C-alpha cells in the first residue's frame, strides 16, 4: 500500500497545431504589427551584441585563463580528499547513482520528448556554438608561461582571425556534429518526426553517454595537477581521459539500476525498501566508504554486541507483548514508563547520577518510540513477530552506525576539511533534504493538529525559522553546536552546517506539506474515524498519502531552493563547491599561478548549479502539468 504516489502514466503530447511555413512564422511571431516589428529589430540587435560581449568576456579575454578550472577539476569534485583513495569517492558516487537509477526505474516518469524537438534543439545548439565560435575575437597571444602578452598601451596582443579559426577547429567540429546529428534525425525520420516521442530519461542517458563516450575518442581536457605540480592519475592522460573508465562504469550502472528498478517495481515492498536504502545511504557513503573507519573489534565483542543482543532480545520481547491487541491500557502505561525512562537517561547523565553510554540512551529513546507505536501494529502472531523483527533490525542498524561514528577514520587528510567540493554540496543537499522531509511532515502535522500545545510549538518554530535568513541559522549552528555538545565530543563544521540546513528547510517543507494537508477534505478524517482507525493510522494511511501527493510540485521547488541554498556554506568556511571557486583556486599560486582568477571558476560553478536546478525544475513542471495543478 505504498504506491499511492504514482502519477498517471499517459504521456503528455502537445496538441497538434498546423505547422507554419517559415515565412508565415516570421510574420506572425516577429512582425505581426509595426510595434512588434520595432521591438524585433531593437531586441534582435541587442541580443546579437549581448551574445558577442558574453562570449568575448568569457573566452578570448586576456584576463581569462580557463586552465584555472581545467587543472583543478579534482578540487572542484572532491576538494582535498586523498588522491590515492579516490576510488572511495567513485564508490560513494556509484552508490548514490545506483539508488537514483533504481528510484527512477521504480517511480517511472512517463515524460517524453518529441523527436522533432530533439532534432531542432540539436540544430539550434549547433548553430549557437558556431555563432559563438565565429563571434569571439582573434585569440590573445600568450607566452610560454601562459601569461598574455601586452603592448605599450597595456592592450593585449592578439593573433589573426585565421589563427583563431585554426585554433578552434574542435569547436567547429562540435558545431557541425551537432547540426549534422540534428539534420540527420530530422530527415532520417521523415514524417515520423512529428509523431515519434522518446522518453526523457532515455534522452538524458544517451546525451550523457555521448559526452562520456567522446572521452574514449577525443583527447581533450587537461592534466590534473596535484599541489607539487605532478599530473594526477595516469601521467600520460588528461583529466577527462583518466576518469573515462569510472564515468563509463557509472553510466552503465545507472542503466542497469534503472532496468532493475523497473523489474522490482512490481513488488509493493520495493518502494519501502528503496526509501529505507536512501535513508541508510548517507551513513554508508560517509562513514563506511569515505571514512573507512578503524573499528575496534575488542570493544565490539566486549560491549557493542552484548548491548545489541540485550536491546534486541529484551526490547523485541517487550514489543511483542505490547503489540498484543488485548493488552489495552497496560500497553499505554508501559509506553509512558519507557518515555520517562528515556528522558531519565539523559537527566541522569546531566546531573552525573550514573553514567551511561550515549548508545544506550539513544536506544532507550528508540524503544520508547516503538512502544508508543506498538498499538498501531498490534495484530495476529505474524504481525507481532514482524513488528518485533523490525525493532531488532532497526536497533542493529542504529548500533552499527553509532559504532562507525565512534571509530576513527583511517584516512590521512591533507587539509582540515574532510570532504568538499561538489561531492559535499551534492551530499549535503540530497541528504539534508532527505532528513528534513520527515521533520517537515511532523511539523506540518503538529501545526495542523487539534492539540493546541503541539500547534503552538510548531507554529512558533516554523514562523521563527522562516523569519530569519539562512546565514544566521548557519552561524548559530556553527558557533553553538560545539557548545551544546558535552565535553569531549566534537562536531565538524560540516555537521553543523548540515544540521542547520535540515532544520531550516524542514520549516519550509512543513509549509508545503501543510498546503497539502489542508487540501484533504474533512470527510476523509470523519470516514477514517467512523471505521475506527486510531489517530496515527488515520494520519499515515489516509491523510498523508493524499496530502503528499498534492504537495509534490512545491516540494520539488523546495528541493531546488535547498540545492541552491547549500552555496551559503561557503560563507561559513566549509570547503564546498562554491568556496573552491571563490576562495581556493583564486589563491592558488603553485603549480600554476591562478591568483585572482575568480570569474572562470564562478562561471563554471554557476553552470553546474544551473544544470542541476533546471533539471529539477523541468521535472517539476512536467509533474505539475501532468497532475493538472497550475493549469486551469
Partner 1 sequence: MTTEGEGTLAGMQPKRVPLYRDATVVKWVTQVIALLLVLGALFFLVEEAGANLKAKSIPNDFDFLGINPGFNISEGIDKDPNTGGRALWVGMVNTLRLAMSGIVFATLLGLAIGIARLSDNWIVNRLASIYIETIRNIPILVQIFIIAVLLGSAGRLVGDTGPINGWFMVSSKGLAVPRIFPSDGFYQWLVVLAIGTLLARAVRKRRVTHQDLTGAISYPNLWFGAVLLLVAVVGWFVHPVFGFLNNLFNEIGDAWGSIPQSGAKLVLAAGAVTASLLWIRRFLNSKRSPAGLAKLTDDDMFRMIFAVIGGLLVAFVVTIGWPGLSSWIINSGQDFWHFLGDKFGDGRTGNPVDAMRPTIVGEGTLLNYGSQGLVMSPGFAAMFIGLTLYTASFVAEIVRGGILAVPKGQSEAAAAIGLNRAQALRHVILPQAVRVSLPPLGNQYLNITKNTSLGIAIGFADVVNVGGTVLNQSGKALPVIAIWMLFFLCCSLTISVVVNWFNVRTRIVER
Partner 2 sequence: MTDTSVADTDRLSGNKDMIVCEGVNKWFGDFQALKGVTATIKEQEVVVVLGPSGSGKSTWIRCINRLEAHQGGTIIVDGVELSNDLRNIEKIRSEVGMVFQQFNLFPHLTVRDNVTLAPIWVRKRPRAEAEQLAMDLLERVGIPEQADKYPGQLSGGQQQRVAIARSLAMEPRVMLFDEPTSALDPEMIKEVLDVMKDLARGGMTMMVVTHEMGFAREVADRIIFMESGEIVESGTPEHFFTNPTEERTKLFLSQIL
Q: Is the peptide bond before 464 cis (omega within 30 degrees of 0)?
A: no
Task: Pick one of partner 2, partner 1, none as the site partner of residue 526 (Cβ within 5 to 8 A by kind).
Answer: partner 2
CB of 448 to partner 2, least distance (A): 18
User: Judged by CB, which is closer to partner 1: 87, or 347?
Assistant: 347
Task: Pick one of partner 1, partner 2, none as the site partner of residue 39 (Cβ within 5 to 8 A by kind).
Answer: partner 1
| Bridge partners of residue 576, in order along the sequence | 421
- Cα–Cα distance list, 317 to 370, 373, 392, 485 (Å): 12, 15, 10, 34
Task: Pick one of partner 1, partner 2, none as the site partner of residue 560 (Cβ within 5 to 8 A by kind).
Answer: partner 1
| Cα 21 to Cα 17: distance, rounded to the nearest angstrom | 12
SS3 state of residue 254: helix
Task: Pick one of partner 1, partner 2, none as the site partner of residue 546 (Cβ within 5 to 8 A by kind).
Answer: partner 2
Task: Pick one of partner 1, partner 2, none as the site partner of residue 570 (Cβ within 5 to 8 A by kind).
Answer: partner 1
CB of 386 to partner 1, least distance (A): 27
Under DSSP, the state recorded for 227 is: T
Residue-by-residue DSSP string for 158-196: B--HHHHHHHTHHHHHHHHHHHHHHHHHHHHHGGGGGT-
Q: Which residue has the cell 575575437?
A: 137
Sequence-ordered alpha helix ranges (H) in 107-168: 115-135, 161-167
Q: Give me the phi and psi of 61, to 5 degrees please.
A: -135, 130
Binding-site member from 40, 57, 208, 524 for partner 2 (CB under 8 A) = 524
- Of 280-288, 361-369, 533-541, 583-591, the window that binds partner 2 (rule: CB under 8 A) is 533-541
Query: Does 443 sit near partner 2 (CB under 8 A)?
Result: no
Q: Which of 590, 618, 485 is nearest to 71 (CA)?
A: 590
Task: Pick one of partner 1, partner 2, none as the site partner of residue 325 (Cβ within 5 to 8 A by kind).
Answer: partner 2
User: Judged by CB, which is closer to partner 2: 250, or 528?
Assistant: 528
Binding-site member from 280, 372, 411, 541 for partner 2 (CB under 8 A) = 541
Binding-site member from 310, 325, 438, 630 for partner 2 (CB under 8 A) = 325
| Cα 166 to Cα 138: distance, rounded to the nearest angstrom | 11
Q: Which of 390, 200, 397 is nearest to 279 (CA)?
A: 397
Biggest CA pair distance of the chain: 95
Binding-site member from 147, 166, 416, 526 for partner 2 (CB under 8 A) = 526
For residue 244, the surrounding DSSP H or E stretch is helix 244-264
- Of 178-186, 217-225, 333-341, 525-533, the window that binds partner 2 (rule: CB under 8 A) is 525-533
| Cα 630 to Cα 632: distance, rounded to the nearest angstrom | 6
Give yes or no for a contact between 225 and 591, defined as CB atoms under 8 angstroms apart: yes
Task: Pick one of partner 1, partner 2, none as the site partner of residue 24 (Cβ within 5 to 8 A by kind).
Answer: none
Give yes or no for a contact between 424 and 96, defined as CB atoms under 8 angstroms apart: no
- Cα–Cα distance list, 447 to 412, 534, 623 (Å): 46, 19, 27
Binding-site member from 2, 4, 170, 333 for partner 2 (CB under 8 A) = 4
CB of 28 to partner 1, least distance (A): 8
Query: Does 532 sit near partner 2 (CB under 8 A)?
Result: yes
Query: Does 378 sit near partner 2 (CB under 8 A)?
Result: yes
Under DSSP, the state recorded for 197 is: E
Q: Which of 81, 80, 146 is nearest to 597 (CA)?
A: 146
CB of 27 to partner 1, least distance (A): 11
Query: Does 542 sit near partner 2 (CB under 8 A)?
Result: yes
| Bridge partners of residue 421, in order along the sequence | 576
Binding-site member from 531, 587, 606, 630 for partner 2 (CB under 8 A) = 531
Query: Does 1 sit near partner 2 (CB under 8 A)?
Result: yes
User: Judged by CB, which is closer to partner 1: 283, or 461?
Assistant: 461
User: Judged by CB, which is closer to partner 1: 27, or 192?
Assistant: 27
| Cα 302 to Cα 314: distance, rounded to the nearest angstrom | 18
CB of 327 to partner 2, least distance (A): 12
Under DSSP, the state recorded for 153 is: T
Under DSSP, the state recorded for 21 is: P
Measure the N-to-C terminal CA separation of the chain; round to a whole number of Å.
31
CB of 333 to partner 2, least distance (A): 13
Task: Pick one of partner 2, partner 1, none as the site partner of residue 470 (Cβ within 5 to 8 A by kind).
Answer: partner 1
Binding-site member from 108, 549, 564, 598 for partner 2 (CB under 8 A) = 549
How many residues sit close enough to partner 2 to count as binding (CB under 8 A)? 28
Query: Does 329 sit near partner 2 (CB under 8 A)?
Result: yes
SS3 state of residue 113: strand
Query: Does 380 sit near partner 2 (CB under 8 A)?
Result: yes
Query: Does 589 sit near partner 2 (CB under 8 A)?
Result: no
CB of 392 to partner 1, least distance (A): 26
Give yes or no for a contact between 545 and 619, defined as CB atoms under 8 angstroms apart: no
User: Judged by CB, which is closer to partner 2: 352, or 532?
Assistant: 532
Angle at 612 between CA 607 and CA 617, to 5 degrees: 120
Query: Does 545 sit near partner 2 (CB under 8 A)?
Result: yes
* Cell reading at 476: 548559530
List contacts with partner 1 (CB under 8 A): 29-30, 32, 36, 39-40, 43-44, 46-47, 63, 329, 332-333, 336, 339, 343, 346-347, 350, 451-455, 457, 459, 464, 466-472, 475-476, 479-480, 482-487, 560, 564-565, 567-568, 570-571, 578, 582, 598-599, 602-603, 605-606, 609-610, 613-614, 617, 632
User: Judged by CB, which is closer to partner 1: 291, or 597?
Assistant: 597
**Residues contacting 237, CB < 8 A, separation 6+:** none
Task: Pick one of partner 1, partner 2, none as the site partner of residue 339 (Cβ within 5 to 8 A by kind).
Answer: partner 1
Q: Which of 355, 356, 432, 368 is nearest to 395 (CA)?
A: 368
Core vs surface per residue 489-513: b (16+ CB within 10 A) or e: eeeebbebbbbbbbbbbbbbbbbbb
User: Judged by CB, which is closer to partner 1: 264, or 471?
Assistant: 471
User: Judged by CB, which is closer to partner 2: 110, or 127?
Assistant: 110
CB of 622 to partner 1, least distance (A): 15
| Cα 240 to Cα 218: distance, rounded to the nearest angstrom | 10
User: Judged by CB, which is closer to partner 2: 170, or 328?
Assistant: 328
CB of 521 to partner 2, least distance (A): 8
Torsion sign over Cα 510, 512, 518, 521: negative
- Of 179-187, 210-218, 470-478, 545-553, the window that binds partner 2 (rule: CB under 8 A) is 545-553
Please count the other Cβ atoms lying within 10 Å of the Cβ belonging to residue 204.
14
- Binding residues for partner 2, per CB under 8 A? 1, 4, 325, 328-329, 376, 378-380, 382-383, 521, 523-524, 526-533, 537, 541-542, 545-546, 549
Amino acid at each position: 500500500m505504498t504506491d499511492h504516489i504514482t502519477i498517471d502514466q499517459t504521456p503528455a503530447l502537445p496538441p497538434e497545431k498546423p505547422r507554419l511555413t517559415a515565412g508565415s512564422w516570421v510574420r506572425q511571431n516577429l512582425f505581426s504589427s509595426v510595434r512588434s516589428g520595432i521591438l524585433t529589430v531593437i531586441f534582435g540587435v541587442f541580443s546579437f551584441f549581448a551574445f558577442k560581449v558574453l562570449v568575448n568576456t568569457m573566452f578570448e579575454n586576456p584576463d581569462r585563463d580557463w586552465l584555472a578550472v581545467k587543472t583543478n577539476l579534482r578540487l572542484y569534485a572532491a576538494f582535498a580528499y586523498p588522491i590515492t583513495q579516490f576510488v572511495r569517492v567513485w564508490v560513494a558516487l556509484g552508490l548514490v547513482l545506483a539508488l537514483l537509477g533504481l528510484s527512477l526505474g521504480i517511480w517511472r516518469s512517463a515524460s517524453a520528448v518529441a523527436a522533432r524537438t530533439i532534432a531542432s534543439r540539436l540544430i539550434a545548439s549547433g548553430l549557437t556554438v558556431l555563432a559563438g565560435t565565429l563571434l569571439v575575437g582573434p585569440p590573445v597571444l600568450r607566452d610560454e608561461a601562459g601569461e598574455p602578452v601586452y603592448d605599450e598601451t597595456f592592450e593585449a596582443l592578439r593573433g589573426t582571425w585565421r589563427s583563431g579559426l585554426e585554433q578552434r577547429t574542435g569547436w567547429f567540429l562540435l558545431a557541425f556534429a551537432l547540426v549534422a546529428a540534428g539534420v540527420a534525425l530530422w530527415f532520417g525520420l521523415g514524417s515520423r518526426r512529428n509523431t515519434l516521442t522518446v522518453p526523457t530519461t532515455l534522452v538524458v542517458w544517451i546525451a550523457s553517454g555521448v559526452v562520456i563516450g567522446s572521452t574514449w575518442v577525443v583527447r581533450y581536457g587537461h592534466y590534473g595537477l596535484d599541489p607539487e605540480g605532478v599530473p594526477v592519475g595516469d601521467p600520460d592522460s588528461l583529466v577527462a581521459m583518466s576518469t573515462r573508465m569510472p564515468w563509463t562504469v557509472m553510466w552503465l550502472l545507472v542503466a542497469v539500476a534503472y532496468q532493475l528498478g523497473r523489474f522490482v517495481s512490481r513488488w509493493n515492498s520495493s518502494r519501502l525498501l528503496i526509501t529505507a536504502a536512501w535513508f541508510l545511504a548517507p551513513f554508508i557513503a560517509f562513514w563506511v566508504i569515505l571514512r573507512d573507519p578503524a573499528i575496534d573489534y575488542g570493544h565490539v565483542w566486549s560491549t557493542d554486541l552484548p548491548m545489541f543482543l540485550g536491546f534486541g532480545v529484551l526490547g523485541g520481547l517487550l514489543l511483542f507483548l505490547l503489540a498484543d491487541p488485548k493488552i489495552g491500557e497496560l500497553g499505554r502505561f508501559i509506553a509512558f514508563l519507557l518515555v520517562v525512562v528515556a528522558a531519565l537517561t539523559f537527566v541522569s547523565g546531566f546531573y552525573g547520577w550514573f553514567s551511561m553510554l550515549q548508545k544506550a540512551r539513544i536506544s532507550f529513546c528508540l524503544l520508547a518510540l516503538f512502544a508508543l507505536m506498538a498499538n498501531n501494529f498490534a495484530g495476529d502472531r505474524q504481525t507481532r513477530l514482524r513488528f518485533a523483527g523490525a525493532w531488532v533490525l532497526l536497533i542493529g542498524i542504529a548500533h552499527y552506525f553509532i559504532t562507525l561514528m565512534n571509530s576513527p577514520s583511517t584516512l590521512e587528510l591533507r587539509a582540515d576539511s574532510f570532504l568538499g567540493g561538489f561531492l559535499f554540496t551534492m551530499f549535503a543537499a540530497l541528504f539534508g533534504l532527505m532528513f528534513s522531509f520527515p521533520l517537515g511532515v511532523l511539523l506540518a502535522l503538529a501545526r495542523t493538529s487539534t492539540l493546541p500545545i503541539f500547534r503552538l510549538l510548531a507554529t512558533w518554530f516554523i514562523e521563527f525559522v522562516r523569519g530569519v535568513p539562512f546565514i544566521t541559522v548557519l552561524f548559530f549552528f556553527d558557533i553553538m553546536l560545539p557548545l551544546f555538545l558535552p565535553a569531549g565530543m566534537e562536531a565538524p563544521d560540516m555537521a553543523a552546517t548540515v544540521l542547520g540546513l535540515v532544520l531550516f528547510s524542514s520549516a519550509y517543507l512543513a509549509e508545503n506539506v501543510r498546503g497539502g494537508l489542508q487540501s484533504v477534505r474533512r470527510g476523509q478524517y470523519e470516514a477514517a474515524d467512523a471505521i475506527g482507525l486510531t489517530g496515527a493510522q488515520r494520519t499515515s494511511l489516509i491523510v498523508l498519502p493524499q496530502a503528499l501527493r498534492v504537495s509534490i510540485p512545491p516540494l520539488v521547488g523546495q528541493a531546488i531552493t535547498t540545492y541552491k541554498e547549500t552555496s551559503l556554506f561557503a560563507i561559513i568556511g566549509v570547503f564546498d563547491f562554491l568556496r573552491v571557486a571563490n576562495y581556493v583556486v583564486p589563491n592558488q599560486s603553485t603549480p600554476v599561478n591562478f591568483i585572482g582568477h575568480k570569474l572562470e571558476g564562478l562561471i563554471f560553478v554557476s553552470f553546474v548549479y544551473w544544470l542541476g536546478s533546471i533539471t529539477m525544475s523541468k521535472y517539476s513542471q512536467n509533474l505539475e502539468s501532468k497532475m493538472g495543478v497550475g493549469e486551469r
